[in-house]
Amino acid sequence: MLLPPAWVFPTVAASTWLAMLLAMLGHWTMIGEPRYGLMKPGQNIPFISDIGAQELKPLFMIGCITTVLLLNLSFYQFIQTKGYINKLCTHGSFFFTIIGGTGLVLLSVLDNISHHLTHDICVTVFIVGFLVSAALMALDYIYLGIAHALREPMLLTSFAIKVSFIVIELTLIIFFRITEHTHYNQNNMAATLEWVIAFVFTGYILSLIVDQLPSSQRNLQDPKGYQQLEMRTSMSLP
């Protein structure tokens, strides 16, 4: 099968995700920033799911499904080309990507109005799935060793993006949950944080682009290349 370069899938996935978010936010602004049924008193900034449950639900669903499909294709292609020693973290990361992607698709289908509780559960599955996926990918690079990463700048870049994604998302999610369940006046802050969390998710997708670049794959696509890199690193140590 003739496939495009590996970096194409995550690039299109990131573009699709950003375009969907901007289209939803832009549409809400252009129609006069209406208040939706589930918005609480004093809240004038909608959650993503508030907009996604209205007339833009088809766009929300298509955007989420397309993003998930492209991410899964990107990860599958990455696994096929990855030949160095530890595959456990990579396969585990792929598994949790599927779990998180399933949560993302379901939360777009089961909207916040008709399936409020189920929607919230799917949001949790989505967030946890991709956070664990990113953590396993970062752990994989730790397994390779910091010394190896320093000799391969693109690997270090990917590692830094994933760790930053985990730290930033966890911090935002904690504040989001705190503000979501406090006084009604805090729901504007909670809604804003949810939008920020969604935009930051783009960082995880972009890190997959870095993983797929030829410079990231150099010397790491087969066990011999990995062993040669390991030997060069060992010889350079005192």
pTM of the model: 0.82
Give the pLDDT confidence score for residue 129 in this predicted structure: 94
Handedness of CA 72, 75, 77, 83 (dihedral sign): negative
**CA 159/CA 166 separation, integer angstroms:** 11
pLDDT 10s digit of each residue in the chain, 238 long? 566 777 888 999 999 999 999 999 999 999 998 888 678 777 888 999 889 888 899 999 999 999 999 998 888 877 776 655 567 787 888 899 999 999 999 999 998 888 888 998 999 999 999 999 989 888 877 776 655 555 667 777 878 888 899 999 999 999 988 887 775 566 788 889 999 999 999 888 888 888 777 655 554 444 444 444 444 444 444 4
The SS3 call for residue 127 is helix
Enter the tokens of residue 19.
């375009």
Give the pLDDT confidence score for residue 112 in this predicted structure: 84
